[in-house]
Amino acid sequence: MKVHLRNPKRELEVDGPLRVHVLLERLELNRESVLVIRGDTLVPGDVLLADDDVVEIRPVISGGAT
Amino acid sequence: MKCTVCREPAVIDVRRHNANFCAPHFLRLCRDQVAKAIKDHSMIGPDERVLVAVSGGKDSLAVWDLLVELGYQADGLYLGLGIGEYSDASGEMARSFAQERDLHLVEVDLPRDHGFDVPTGSKAAKRVPCSACGLSKRHLFDEAARTGGYDVVVTGHNLDDEAAVLFGNVLRWQTDYLGRQLPVLPARHGFPRKVKPLIRLTEREMAAYCVLRGIDYIVDECPMAVGNKHLAYKEALNAIEATSPGSKHDFYHGFLARASSRFTPDAEAEQANLAPCERCGAPTTGTVCAFCKLAERARGAAPTAVPVTLGRSR
């Protein structure tokens, strides 16, 4: 599957099928700090991603001191 | 994974609630949490004029959307901070949001209206960028609300923001800051009340709200915030949250319920020394307020450029 990441922007190829939480563990990403988006909607941790899926892993942490 | 409420397929798992939600029930959860925060802390009266500080990011657009959904008469305020392409893109997000929903957006532009931008002001005043930016924003929110006759200013500070600030204040035992780290800052010296209706919702939940509501927001971090210590505090707290869901909520809301009032005297002591700035009338502990000092230094300084790369949310 194609995995789009940000900060910095990059694209990875990852073999599927794979559950969302396993993908995040493999990429060493905290589930509290990102959303996984397939198409136009969110996918929760137990969803099985297919080999031909395209997903975005979007960081959610933002903001300065105020 | 099924929605805990209706057993339809879930789109998000919220571990701190030990629950999963489909889109409609997750959106309802967000509305309910904002309504509870407003009620519990007496944030907004039924007929009050509300001004939402909008940055083009997920939190401020989400809180504006949520307030309108809850029936409040809320206008937006966008501050152009002169942070290169980042400000151009964030302003576009705020304008598009308002236009698509037929909402009123007030705009203030720091370079146009005050003669300097945040990168230049930060460098000239030898402040870290987030400090110069926050100082400018607080001043301009107050000014815009006072000029426009608004009763209350709403900001998009969420649970992660407040927990991170609390973490930083506790690390250094900044007791005056702890005494005023409240979800409602009362009106004073002719300035409006400031409230934070998102204190019961996390950053992840706000980003999810925007995706599910189709709200286009600026995803990339402000280029001036790279290396900001609050981002590091958020990462540290999320590492704790991952192994102990609910920790951020307990940390911040436990502070409000059981510790905050202990620091009130420290904050009140500082407030007692406030007097109007001799230039602009804003409350200050000196004769000239920090914003007027910053503006004075920045107007005489050479412009500072900001290289950026940006991404939209969709």
What is the structure's pLDDT at B229?
A: 87
Q: Tell which B residues from 150 to 209 touch A, by Cβ distance under 8 Å.
A: 160-161, 165, 202-204, 206-208
Q: Is residue A18 part of a domain?
A: yes
Mode of pairing for the β-strands spanning B193-195 and B152-154:
parallel
Q: Report the SS3 class of residue A53.
A: coil
d(CA B142, CA B57): 20
Domains and CATH numbers, chain B: 12-299 (3.40.50.620)
Q: How many domains does chain A have?
A: 1
What is the structure's pLDDT at B72?
A: 96
Record: contact A61-B235, CB cut-off 8 A? yes
Q: What percent of chain A has pLDDT over 70?
A: 94
The single-letter code of the amino acid at B182 is L
DSSP track, B117-148: -HHHHHHHHT--HHHHHHHHHHHHHHHHHHHH
* Nearby residues of A31 by Cβ (< 8 Å), 6 or more positions away: A21, A24, A45, B15, B242
Residues of B with CB below 8 A from A37's CB?
211
Specify the CATH number for the domain of residue A10: 3.10.20.30
Tens of pLDDT along chain B (314 residues) come to: 899 999 999 999 999 999 999 999 999 999 999 999 999 999 999 899 999 999 999 999 999 999 999 999 999 999 998 888 888 899 999 999 999 999 999 999 999 999 988 888 888 888 888 888 888 988 999 999 999 999 999 999 999 999 999 999 999 999 989 998 999 999 987 688 999 999 999 999 999 999 999 999 998 878 887 778 888 999 999 999 999 999 999 999 999 999 999 998 877 777 778 888 899 888 888 899 999 999 998 887 777 766 554 545 54
CA B286 from centre of chain? 26
Q: Is residue A65 part of a domain?
A: no
Q: Which residues does residue B105 pair with via DSSP β-bridges, in sequence order?
A: B76
Q: Provide the residue range defining the domain that includes A45.
A: 2-59
d(CA B29, CA B12): 12
Q: Is residue A64 part of a domain?
A: no
Q: Is residue A26 part of a domain?
A: yes
Comparing alpha-carbon positions, the chain B residue that sits nearest to A39 is B314
What is the structure's pLDDT at B306?
A: 65
Comparing alpha-carbon positions, the chain B residue that sits nearest to A34 is B204
Chains A and B: how many Cβ contacts under 8 Å? Answer: 104
Q: Is A64 on the interface with B (CB under 8 A)?
A: yes
What is the structure's pLDDT at B312?
A: 52
pLDDT < 50: residue spans in chain A:
65-66
Nearest to B216 by CA among B142, B297, B312, B103: B312
Residues of B with CB below 8 A from A66's CB?
130, 133-134, 137-138
